[in-house]
Each structure stands twice: as structure tokens, then as C-alpha cells.
Amino acid sequence: MNTREQLAKEHTEVTRRYFLELGAAGAVALSASRLWAEGPNDDAKRLLEDAVAKLEYLTREEDFVNFGRGTPPPHTLPPEKLRAVGLAKETWQLEVVPDPESDAKVEQPLSKDLGTALDWDGLMKLAEKTAVRILSVMSCTNGRQPCGMGLWEGVPLRDVIWLARPTGNLRRVFYYGYHNDDPKQRFQSSLPIGRVLEDPPGEHPVILCYKLNDQWLSAKRGGPVRMLVPDSYGNASVKWLQRIVLTNNYQANDTYALWNNDTASAIKTCARFLHAPKTMAAGRPAAITGLAQVGPAGLSKVQYWLSPRGEALPKDDPYFAQADWREATILPPPQRWASTLPEGKLPPVPRQIDPASGRPHQWPLRNTITHWATLLTIDRPGEYDLRCRTIDAHGTAQPMPRPFPKSGHNAIQAVKIVAESPHGK
């Protein structure tokens, strides 16, 4: 048995067990699904198993979509220059200082001038006591697809803030990374101090991140240290972090805010296609796979809708709420999270993963992705539009409840599929 066949078998079996463990509801879902039908549908089942076997949950470091800023981008600097500007472990330092333009009170600033800035060794000492690992998706606010899904490791930002001993007049945390000593290239973000010091219910801490998928963070991914805000879009997770400013300013001072973006938007729940054939034979099934990005409202369903291309759409139904949506199958947690991890297994992850079983406490996980799949059969030859959407845990269909751009792209995706006559006529 080759690797693909083994992965397909494992994923199929864990899916069967997952539904069966749900009891009566799971049995209904399993029996109603065409994905694992017996007898004459075995060929279709193998098609889907082949498609599912190609899915990998954690994104390889080299496959992450990159939106590096700067001219030249900092990660393209030669090693000697990276060391010189503090973008190597042995030279990295982080300042945590009061805003000189506000009256924030900080008793013990972490400052290069004072010789008190946090260095790599100091960060690693903190990590020995307070490090956390978080499964989190990275998405660009205006991107149509997530940049990547990662296992991030770091130290809670609040632990570093408290080292500076702030005592009052503090409302926001402003931060930025290396910018080639050119203020015009600075990319900055900010958070309310409440979000930093206390996690909202069910959320994870903002962290100073130094590992991705159990490997040291590369310069391309923002290393040696970047910010990670697990419930926000990537503009808040600033790369090449070097300076944090504590301020009494009540306004957001993010670069993205100046670019007409909503910097306070949480990640949106939405579905995207991973594999949908451009052409297929009419009357014969084809495997469709996709991913769903899961925001704070969770995820209950992924659906798809096939319509003849060029067919007039109702003008009073902009989000296709009345369309003939069919349900796809949300795949269960993978047994192998990544080929780059030993035996594909996760290291211990606080709160999201049960340490005894190594499985998630719930599924799907918020602020992450999950995969979905279905078998599609088109009866008649022709051109069609295939769309997908999510239904969140509150029963709200994508793109609601936040359908507007500039706060996260969640428009319903459509792909063209041509169904050809199986006889070539």
C-alpha cells in the first residue's frame, strides 16, 4: 500500500469513527452521505479518498503566502545585514517604552538606551515558564484565500508588558517591526490594553511568536520574533518585531486604518474551494474539496450550490439565501496534522488539544480552518457555476453577518465547471 492509499484509508476510517461516535445523529449523517457509500459507488468513493488524501492541515513554511513589506523586504537581506539590524537571534532586542506623546506611566522601560531591552536569552527564559502553542489561521484582510494554517509558539505579550511595570494612563499597545530605518516603510498595528492583559472568553493570548510548526520562525515568516493575534487578520500580527509603545492614546494608530481598512475586525467564517474540476463528464461523480475558515461564530455547515451558467439570478436575493444549497461533509480532525511533524503528531497545545488523546476538545476549532468535501454529479452537459458557503454556529449564512469588504474578504466564491457528454458528443 503506497502513502496516498494509506492516508486515504486512515482518513476514511477516522471519519467513520467520528460520525459513529456522535451516536444516532452521526449514524444519520454517515448513512445519508454519498461520500462513503457502498456497492456501486465504490469508484466514486475512491475518487474522494484520493482527493482527501492530498489534503494537509498545517501549511508548509515554504507554502505560506507572503505579504512582506519594505524596499527591500527585510527577509531578503543577507545574513550579515540581518545580524546588524537585530533580525538574528543573537542580536535581536525588543523595546517596551512609554509613548513620549502621551502621559503613560511606566516604571521600568525595556530600552536599548538604558540597556534594559529584552533580548533572545531573556525571551527564552520567559518561554520556559509561560510558552503557549496555538493553532491559528493567518489571513490577509483583503485576501480571497488564507495565507496559511499554522501551529504557532510564543510567550504571551502580557508577560513582557508587565516586565516594564506600567502603572497608569495606559489604553493601547502600539507596535512595529524593522523598517529599513525609513519611517515611510514602517508597518504598525495596535491593540487595546484590555485585549492584551485579559483574553476574551474562549480566546487565546496575543503572543510574541518565535516558532511556526515546531520550527524556529524564519526571516521570511517574520523571525526571529513576530506578533501573533490569533483572533485577528494578519495586519495585526506584525513581523520582525522590535518595538512596543505603551500609550494613553485612545485611537487606533494602525497602518491599515490609514489605508481604509477595519483594523478591529475578527476573522470571518467562510468557505473556499481547494479542488473543483474545470471539466467533468456528465452523469459521473467528481470529487470536490475545500476549506472553511472558522471565525468567532464557529461553524455548523458547509454547503454548495450548482446553477446553469448564465441563468438569471434574483435581484432581491444578493447573497443567494433562497438558492438550492446542498450540504457538503465537514471532515474530522486529521490523524496526521503535518508531514513535517514527527509521526504527523502535534506537540502539546494548551486548551485546544486534549493532552491524553491528542485530539481537539471540540471541532472545528475557532480561528482555524477545517477541510470539507463532497461528490458532485452533473446530469446534463453544459456550463455551470458552482458556489460554496458556510453556516456558522448561530445559523447565519455567509457572507452575513459582516458582508462588507475592508473588514475581511468573505464573498461567496464561484467557480466555472463544464460538464461534457460522457460519449464525447
As a whole number of angstroms, the distance between CA 91 and CA 225 comes to: 12
As a whole number of angstroms, the distance between CA 308 and CA 288 comes to: 18
What does the pLDDT look like over 72-124, one tens digit per residue? Answer: 889 999 999 999 999 999 999 999 999 999 999 999 999 999 999 999 999 99
Angle (CA) 220-225-227 rounded to 5° is 100
Which CA distances in Å does 221 have to 73, 218, 237, 289? 11, 5, 11, 27
Question: Residue 161 is placed in which grid cell?
Answer: 508588558
Question: Is residue 62 scored above 50 in pLDDT?
Answer: yes
Q: What is the pTM of this model?
A: 0.88
- Nearest CA among 228, 154, 212 for reference residue 340: 212
Asked if 304 contacts 320 with a C-beta cutoff of 8 angstroms, the reply is no
For 97, residues 6+ apart whose C-beta sits below 8 A from its C-beta are 106, 109, 110, 111, 164, 243, 244, 245, 246
Residue with cell 451516536: 23
Lowest mean pLDDT among 65-74, 292-301, 305-314: 65-74
Question: Is residue 305 scored above 80 in pLDDT?
Answer: yes
**Omega into 72 within 30° of 0, i.e. cis?**
yes
Question: Residue 1 is placed in which grid cell?
Answer: 500500500
Which CA distances in Å does 274 have to 135, 287, 371? 20, 11, 9
Lowest mean pLDDT among 16-25, 80-89, 143-152, 282-291: 16-25
What does the pLDDT look like over 186-197, one tens digit per residue? Answer: 889 999 999 999
Supply the DSSP symbol for 266: B
Supply the DSSP symbol for 185: G
Asked if 113 contacts 122 with a C-beta cutoff of 8 angstroms, the reply is no
**Can you tell me whether residue 164 is helix, strand or coil?**
coil
What does the pLDDT look like over 205-230, one tens digit per residue? Answer: 999 999 999 999 999 999 999 999 99
The alpha-carbon radius of gyration of the chain (Å, integer) is 24
Question: Is residue 33 scored above 60 in pLDDT?
Answer: no
**Omega into 355 within 30° of 0, i.e. cis?**
no
Q: What stretches of 139-269 adopt beta strand conformation (E)?
A: 148-156, 166-168, 172-177, 188-192, 207-212, 215-216, 226-228, 241-247
Q: What is the pLDDT of residue 16?
A: 45
As a whole number of angstroms, the distance between CA 381 and CA 141 comes to: 38
Strand 413-420 to 279-281 pairing = parallel
Angle (CA) 397-328-306 rounded to 5° is 80
- Domain 65-258: assigned CATH number: 3.90.420.10
* pLDDT above 70 coverage of the chain, percent: 89
**Omega into 205 within 30° of 0, i.e. cis?**
no
For 375, residues 6+ apart whose C-beta sits below 8 A from its C-beta are 34, 35, 44, 47, 48, 285, 286, 287, 288
Instruction: Give start-end residues of each CATH 3.90.420.10 domain in the chain.
Output: 65-258
**Omega into 98 within 30° of 0, i.e. cis?**
no
Higher-scoring residue by pLDDT: 8, 400:
400
As a whole number of angstroms, the distance between CA 177 and CA 185 comes to: 10
Q: What is the mean pLDDT of residues 299-318?
A: 94
Higher-scoring residue by pLDDT: 32, 122:
122
Q: What is the helix (H) or strand (E) element at residue 125, kind and residue range?
A: helix 120-130
Q: Which CATH number fits domain 268-420: 2.60.40.650, 2.40.10.120, 1.10.8.100, 3.30.390.10?
A: 2.60.40.650
Instruction: Give start-end residues of each CATH 2.60.40.650 domain in the chain.
Output: 268-420
Question: Residue 191 is placed in which grid cell?
Answer: 491593540
Question: Is residue 339 scored above 50 in pLDDT?
Answer: yes
What does the pLDDT look like over 395-411, one tens digit per residue? Answer: 999 999 999 988 999 99
* Cβ neighbours, 10 Å, residue 165: 13
As a whole number of angstroms, the distance between CA 171 and CA 219 comes to: 31
Chain-centre distance of CA 200, in angstroms? 19
Higher-scoring residue by pLDDT: 392, 24:
392
Asked if 208 contacts 130 with a C-beta cutoff of 8 angstroms, the reply is no
**Can you tell me whether residue 39 is helix, strand or coil?**
helix
For 91, residues 6+ apart whose C-beta sits below 8 A from its C-beta are 83, 84, 85
Question: Is residue 63 scored above 70 in pLDDT?
Answer: yes
